Amino acid sequence: MSEEPGELPKISYDFQAPIGEFGQVRGSYKDLIPLHFFLKDYGSQLAPMIVTIPETNTAIATDNKELRYSVRSDGNAGFVFLHNYQDHAERIDLSNLRLSIKTKNGVINIPEQGSFTLPKEKHAILPFNLVINDVLIRYATVQPMTNFTQSGINYHVFISTDGIQPELYLQTKLAIGALRNCNIKKATGGAIIRGNNNNIFSFSTGSGDNRDQFLVIPMTMAVNAYQLKTGLVFTKETLLVNSTEFDLVSRHTTGDTLLFYPALRTVPKIAGATIRTINSNSSFSGYEVIFSAINQSVKIEQPMPANTVINFGDNFMEGLNDAFLQVDYVGDNGQILLDGQLVGDHFYYGAPWEIGLKRFASQLKDRSLYLYFHALRKDAPCLAYFKDKMPPFGGNDEYLKINSITVVPEYKCKVVIE
């Protein structure tokens, strides 16, 4: 174990991965969810399509006004990939955009009339000439997400992007009906369906055994989606899904809403917590999960500015799925020692350090946990990435501050859909 300042962690540095060392689900994991849904249901169409990359893409690394895009197509149908992001570079909203796509059967304009804005830091996948059963989606300014069938009805879910007016141009002989929060305008061979930005809206095509329902949700909702055998469930909590049941993992006694689509016929059964209905309509069922609070016996001492000693009660993990030590500090790095062994370390990058305690539970019954911290030097190369979180060095050559150390319980329950 090195005591040299500026040293990188030896065993725990995970580069802020989507799933952390102790099973923490991070924001980057949520950001991948819409893409994984898309690839699961549309990957077989996407894979054989040819890539078209515009010439401008090779010269826009520092140009924040040029649209960054590419197309995957079979010559007639395909997907347009858009993004407005550049690492370590300032971006601006790109407005007055309108795409013209030349296909074997003519030019498709997205949108048919007007234009759209792609806000900075945003991205989208827009389909054109996408066939869904007896419906041709000439184009859509919403991103395809997933398809599933439940109780004889085909469901199709799309995602709207903040700043882009959500609309779908459908060409079909089937009847098109508004279900929620949208308007339908006749167009050549079909209709254009529009909703409002950041609002859920839905519509249907056909009837009886030949019925499809389309749902459009904002991206903020899509990143919290999980697939069940019965459809979808949306929640900010972490779910471990197995067909019609799942484990719900939460750090809150009252967890985020479970929103099921389509609506469930019966209230889910639950073990390890209580559940209550908070919202139910023809489209969605909403429930709230409540855990009984568990208080832990923890003693935290700081004998020296750079050292902390933590002792836990004999049954501090009883009734919990895990417990996380959250260390809010500013410094170079931190190290955890248990029974004289280095069991974890951390490279400071601006966010609190989290340590899952479940794996050490048996040892912590009769042993202390030691935390050691190294100060961040004023000439550290990593400071180039701390523009908005620069430590207040003042006239000092280094800086170290432990703001707080807390223990956060993590609860778990099982939910079964019947």
Q: How far apart are CA 418 and CA 416, in angstroms?
A: 6
- Is-same-fold flag (27-223; 298-377+396-409)? no
Single pTM value for the model: 0.92
Is the CATH code 2.60.40 the one for domain 298-377+396-409?
no
CATH class of 27-223: mainly beta
- Listed residue (340, 335, 336) closest to 359, CA to CA: 336
Query: Residue 414's CB: how many other CB atoms inside 10 A?
Result: 16
Q: Any idea where the domains of the chain sit in the sequence?
A: 27-223, 229-293, 298-377+396-409
Q: How far apart are CA 100 and CA 259, in angstroms?
A: 38
What's phi and psi for 45, nearest 5 deg?
-80, -40
User: How many Cα atoms sit within 13 Å of 7 on the Cβ side?
Assistant: 14
∠ CA 304-407-316, nearest 5°, is 110
pLDDT score for 6: 54
pLDDT score for 350: 87
pLDDT score for 2: 47
Instruction: Give every residue of the chain whose pLDDT is below 50, as ranges.
Output: 1-2
SS3 163: coil
Residues 6+ apart with CB under 8 A from 388: none
Please state whether the peptide bond connecting residue 262 to the residue before it is cis, i.e. omega within 30 degrees of 0: yes
State pLDDT tens for residues 171-217: 999 999 999 999 999 999 999 999 998 899 999 999 887 899 999 99
pLDDT score for 208: 80
Strand partners of residue 182: 195
State pLDDT tens for residues 383-399: 887 777 788 999 999 99
